[in-house]
Amino acid sequence: MWLHIITVLTAGAMLPMQAGINVGLARGWGHPLWAATVSFGVGALVLLGVAAVARLAIPNWQQLSDIPVWSWSGGVLGAFYVTVMVIFAPKLGAATLLALVVAGQMLASTLLDHYGALGFPQQAISLPRLLGVVLLFLGVILIRKF
């Protein structure tokens, strides 16, 4: 379990780094959309390379047609996220940017759990969970103000 926690914390720590790196790409490429495109392109190439090295089988058309239509929206959401990070990182700073990201993630996660949406196990919104989300938003205010 500790390996999972450390791995996820490490991935989370990379988000502000990714935002800063992508801001540099935006400066070099002249626009946040180009930065997001380059970021996704490099990521896609790395993932294709890893898949090739791991000798993963390419899914057949039947497997792809069985995927729910909404599953294809993940790339759109990722593109939106990366573009927003590139645009707002220089305006908000890393701490405020990521505090807002975490607060938004927790609000959405709580709702997804409550309704059991997108394949998540259903877990009702409880007062302690709601309080946790409220405290995260209060944390955003404190981080932004101070």
pLDDT digits (tens, 9 = 90+) for 69-80: 888 899 999 999
Domain map (residue ranges) of the chain? 2-145
Q: What is the pLDDT of residue 89?
A: 94
For 32-72, the DSSP string reads HHHHHHHHHHHHHHHHHHHHHHTTPPPPPHHHHHTS-GGGG
In the chain the first and final C-alpha atoms are separated, in Å, by: 35
Q: Structure pTM?
A: 0.82
Query: What Å distances lie between residue 123 and 55, 111, 128, 133, CA to CA?
Result: 37, 9, 13, 15
- Per-residue confidence at 46, pLDDT binned at 50, 70, 90? very high
Flag whether pLDDT at 41 surpasses 90. Answer: yes
Quote the strand ranges of the chain, DSSP E. Answer: none
Name residue, tokens 């792809």: 64
Counting other chains too, the contacts that 65-74 makes at CB distance below 8 Å and 24 or more residues apart are: 70/118
Tally of residues, the chain:
146
Of 145, 44, 134, the closest CA to residue 96 belongs to: 145
Mean pLDDT of the chain: 93
